[in-house]
Amino acid sequence: MDKSLDKGKLEHLAELARIGLSEGSEEKLLRDTEGILSYFDELNQVDTDGIEPMTGGTDMKNAARDDERSDDLLRDGVEEFPVSRDGLLEVPKIMKETTNDL
């Protein structure tokens, strides 16, 4: 498998991660990530056959609690939201305007 990163892959990752890369920052990023990824190659030396992955910091399976209504965060949460109006959160529009000729 080709584990290297190139400019095209980096741009794709940046788009997935929703990070706008500035002009000229890609070269340094590629250099740094190459060093880090080659360090990670040492993991190939470890025999992990039959080992269960450790998928979290705890061996607890479930931590359910009663589903109780709480208004604790409701009012302050709206107030602290960057833009709000009349107790409602205001966000940029997410739909593009289209001309509908139906």
Q: Residue 18 interacts with other proteins (CB under 8 A)?
A: yes
Q: Closest approach of Cβ 101 to other proteins, in Å?
A: 22
CA dist 2 and 32 (Å) reads: 18
Instruction: Please report, to the nearest 10 degrees, the dihedral formed by the alpha carbons of residues 62, 65, 69, 73 taken in order.
Output: -70
CA dist 42 and 4 (Å) reads: 15
Q: Residue 8 interacts with other proteins (CB under 8 A)?
A: no
Q: Which residues pair with 89 in a beta bridge?
A: 84
Residue from 8, 69, 71, 82 in contact with other proteins (CB under 8 A): 82
Amino acid identity of 76? D
Give the residues lining the site for other proteins (CB under 8 A).
1, 3, 5, 10, 13-14, 16-22, 25, 29, 32-33, 35-36, 39-40, 42-43, 45-46, 48, 51-58, 60, 63, 65, 72-73, 76-77, 79-83, 91-92, 94, 96
